[in-house]
Amino acid sequence: MWSNALDPLLRRRAFLRGTLAGAAALGSAGVSVAFDEPAAKPLAGPTKNVLFIWLAGGASQFEMWDPKPGRETGGPFRTIQTSIPGYHIGELMPKTAAMLQHVAVVRSLNTEISEHEQAADLISSGRPAEAGLEYPEIGVLLAKELTVRETLLPDYVSCFTTTEGRRRPRVGFLNAKHSPLLLEKSLRPEHLDLPAGLNESQHTSRERLREQLSSRFAARRAGAELANGYNSAFAKVRGLMQSDTLFNLEKEPEAVRLRYGKTPFGEQCLLARRLIEAGVGVVKVARGFWDSHHDNFESHRELVPDFDHVYSTLLADLHERGLLKSTLVIVLSEFGRTPVINQDVGRDHYATAWSVALAGSGVRGGTVYGKTDPDGKTVVEGQANASDLAATIYKAAGLDLHKEYQAGLRPVPLAKEDAQPIEGILA
């Protein structure tokens, strides 16, 4: 059990207690392997962690956050009252409805692009595509800025265990060392076990030898900076090798596992909570696949209750552990679904008027922002685009929107120049 009261650094140290003291030339996909720069300045806000819940394929705002009961576009689901007076959401989310005091819902996104890949790029980066410049994804930038110096854990863990619409967060113009640790085949990182024929004692001896050689190399030829980076890389590998504890859900009490549910999404979110509690800066989990071109209501009958249960459990668990006040939780997709119900009782892609939800640190819970028309076809109040959403996330995380990065010869601010954070939902 991790202590909630500990500083992230101390929590990381607790995690590393008993670390194997050996070096191994382990290659784990996406692990940052060079010494990382510290955040440019102390964080302005309380946010220490960010959790993205990516509803891959495009979840329907009509069946979730922005229902239109009784309208031709509304479909058959009815609504329920939430903990926000006067605000009703889809009836498939009763547990979430009781947790909305922690949540800010934005119902007025117009992100224009309704093709999966392009839309996912846009929402994930908060930037329209631009020739000759690839922007880092929001999570990558957050991980870079939120991560404190002495971490031996990954800065960013991205969990996407289904294959349709799978994305690997892009580092864009940043160094590849900012790539996240990817969990794709299972919830346990690959290549963590010692190579066959190598025991712990041998592993420890090799690490001592490596340290000696590294120190000599630093003293005689390379200097401390390079050696430090090299040592940091090995230290991260050592940290990951302890992941049998961190990534092993068997270590959770059975009651907690049952509380989340032993579904793939439930287990991803439980792992996310463990990672956040241990001090991983950014975690992304993906729940696929919401692309309901046919049989939309049947697919949402299946998917939304699963989401409702796991999401509400996650928020409650984070809150009870005191983590929600330092963790920003964002639910988003690449787009929403069409108002028109097609001939196959499906809804197609729709980016003109859709919804996302943010909760926890930096967010004014119990807020509903923006409005669509009675049929959900257009935004009539509080329109925001993908850059605005990204700026909102950065600001909720306490980052300076104007901080500049160098992309080749070009300075690039954290948030797009004309982005307007959605102040109405910020704490």
Partner 1 sequence: MNADPAAVDPSKVEPAKVNPSAFDPTQAKLVSSCKAPGTLYCQWFDEAGNKLYGAGSDGALHVVDLSAVTEAATKKWPLHENYVTGLVKREAVFISSSYDRTLAWTDAETGVLIRRVPAHAGWIRELVMSADGQRVVTVGDDMQVKVWNAQSGEALSTLSGHASQTPEGYASALYAVAVSPNGRHIASGDRAGEVRVWDVEAGKPAASFRVSEFYTFDAQKRARAIGGIRGLAFSADGARLAISGIGQVTNVDGFVGPCRVEVWDWQGGKPIFAGNDKHQAVLNHVVFCQTAPWMIAAGGGDGGGVIAFWNQSSPMPQHLANPKGHVQSFCLDSDSRRLFTAGHEGFQIWQLG
Chain residues that interact with partner 1, rule: CB under 8 A: 57, 70, 72, 76, 78, 162-164, 261-265, 287-289, 291-295, 298-299, 301-303, 305-306, 341-346
User: Distance between CA atoms of 322 and 128, rounded to whole angstroms?
Assistant: 36
Q: Which is nearer to partner 1, 297 or 394 (CB)?
A: 297
Q: What is the DSSP secondary-structure string of 178-196?
A: GPPEEE-SSSS-SS-SPPT
Q: Which is nearer to partner 1, 96 or 367 (CB)?
A: 96
Q: Are 153 and 31 in contact (CB under 8 A)?
A: no
Which residue intervals of 136-263 are DSSP H helices? 138-146, 200-217, 224-241, 243-246, 254-260
Q: Which is nearer to partner 1, 199 or 343 (CB)?
A: 343
275: which residues sit within 8 A by CB, 6+ positions away?
A: 153, 157, 246, 283
Tell me, what amino acid is at 78?
R
75: which residues sit within 8 A by CB, 6+ positions away?
A: 62, 63, 296, 297, 341
Q: How far is the CB of 67 from partner 1 (least distance, A)?
A: 13
Instruction: Specify the DSSP class assigned to residue 341.
Output: -
Q: Which is nearer to partner 1, 130 or 302 (CB)?
A: 302
Q: How far is the CB of 97 from partner 1 (least distance, A)?
A: 17
Q: Which is nearer to partner 1, 8 or 346 (CB)?
A: 346
Q: Are 138 and 386 in contact (CB under 8 A)?
A: no
Q: Which is nearer to partner 1, 61 or 243 (CB)?
A: 61
